Structure 1
Amino acid sequence: MSHGKLREEKDCLNCGHTVEEKYCPNCGQQNIQTRQPFHYLFTHFVEDFTHYDGQFWGTLKNLFFKPGKLTSTYLEGKRQTFVPPVKLYIFVSFVTFFLFAIFPPFNINFEGKGKSKLFSQKDKISEIQKALNDAKAKEKWTKEDSIIIAKYTPIITDSSKIDEIEQTFDMDKKLDEDEITISDNNFFNRPIHNKLAELQKKGYKKSEILTGFIETTIHNLPKALFIYLPIFAFILWLFHNKKRWWYFDHGIFTLHYFSFLLLSLLLSLLLYKVSEYCSVPFINKILYLGIFCIFFYDIIYFFIAHKRVYNTKKRVSILIGFLTLWFNFFAFTFLIIGLALISFLMIH
């Protein structure tokens, strides 16, 4: 906890009670000076956020290497030894997605340069001019070349027709392989079709639409995981004794399990990023092996934790584990699809 300079006075500044040692016996506030050195702000933040006295690191150690122990300990009533489940999940989630935002694991810009952007009118003029020059440069004009020359020459030479660029250019892009078309003959496809038409009318390319779609989906992923927590706990509740295990118990198990998944995801990201900057093949193989081992450990972790927490017979635990993961796979897939559709419709 905080190591600020203690006050000589023994009255609590919060409630007025007498403080015999460091903390007020009535309200629990630490009896420290109201003014501290500047570095105290940083150390206070780090210590309070990570419980630098050992609680935080002990929690991470048990979370990663002793599946199910944190949940069992918490449900037994021993709740001062480790970081509370909600605080743990929020912290791990924040760090994981913060680092993912700074160091994305893959390039989601399908054009390989810059960020996705709308075609400006100047960009369209340049493309029209290039298409026109390419057509005129050919020794023998095809029917398509003649159409391009006849259609684009008046626009380039007559500035008064500059407003026709967007309409003409967008209509011609429907013939391009970059165009996306979806039938709008049913209730579900119609919003997607309308959104595609809106984006393409604004000048978005296929690659730009896909980039924006993935960016928005990744941005909303933390929200999706947070929404899915009670669903995961509910599925656990369905497969266990309702009198012995409360929904609250499954919620604690879920928070610890998802914290582990995010932690393993973060560790995999760090190993992958190191491999990107490492030019030694042997070391890269070790790093990739480490990522594979983490992925394999993610799979068996749930079964180990489930067996230790719910204390069921081995075969029963494995069966319930498979059924739980199977139901969660479909439920989470459904949630991701819904999230993807919402993310797509949110693209501007």
Structure 2
Amino acid sequence: MNDALNVAVLGAGSWGTTVASLVSANANTTLWARSAEVVAEINSQGQNSKYLPNARLHRRLRASDDLEYVVRACDVLVMAIPAQSFRRMLVEVRSFLRPWVPVISLSKGLEQDTQLRMTEIIQQELPGHPVGVLSGPNLATEIMQGFAAASVIAMDDPRIVGRVQKLFHSGLFRVYTNNDVVGCELGGVLKNIIAIAAGMGDGQGAGENTRSALITRGLAEVSRLGVALGGQAETFYGLAGMGDLIATCTSVKSRNRTVGFELGKGRSIDEIIAEMFMVAEGVKSAPSVIGLARDNGVPMPISEEVYKVVTGKATAKDAFRGLLRANVGQECQPG
């Protein structure tokens, strides 16, 4: 336990709460939430029943709805904020945050208007702060139940990343380091689109062969675009790429797969989203991902079909017909 370090986690959804609980084993950790009710429950009962029913949080974790208090005291700032609210939150904390405090993103989305990654937004709004991303096949409910899991912390500076790694590494939650911030961040973003496709197939009863093919060809799409945008190819075959992709495409706990599954059953995207109180980042990110792919001349046939469905331009059945009509080439070549 590093009692000298204060960690602030902003965002008390399922993943933010889970990470805050994990880090509490290693440092003084305060979880910021807008809801006074959530704060009171965490502090008095050690639970966040809205987002993590029946889970017991670390006894040292504290929560607050006072943003200035939480941020001014922190030595590391962890952002568990949905992508479309991410910049606004950074602007809110800017005047409270001390210089050179590392800022770590947990978000797996892109900003719609700019197509920017969260670490790029951090660099714009909080220049001079070391930035990083934590990403991997991490289903919050399983981690809180005590199942083993692994993740990657990616930062440019090898000295800082080693110190931050120790904050997140806890018990059965193993954390590895990587210097490929771009690749690790994009792996977490792009796999959400493929997970929607896998869910659409499952919702239509397409079978395990279809799911396996979607995951495999989806990984090819993810790595193609990721490398084109500056990521390292090997990153997409590690925890932040293939690992996260498999978990998100196959688990019933995955929100993006769930959206796809409901689309596959014939429901509309608006109807599905209206029933969800947690964000499925793939829905919001799909237009940005397709924009980046087209701008960089990267073919992404699976993602293109998902984009059409989540924007109401096609149905899930139309999407699968489109994939069956797509041209095929040699597997080892792009395309």
TM range (shorter): under 0.3
Computing the radius of gyration from Cα coordinates, the structure with the larger value is 1
Structure with the bigger percentage of helix: 1
Task: Tell me the TM-score normalized by structure 1.
Answer: 0.26
- Tell me: higher relative CO, structure 1 or 2? Use CA pairs within 8 A at least 6 residues apart: 1
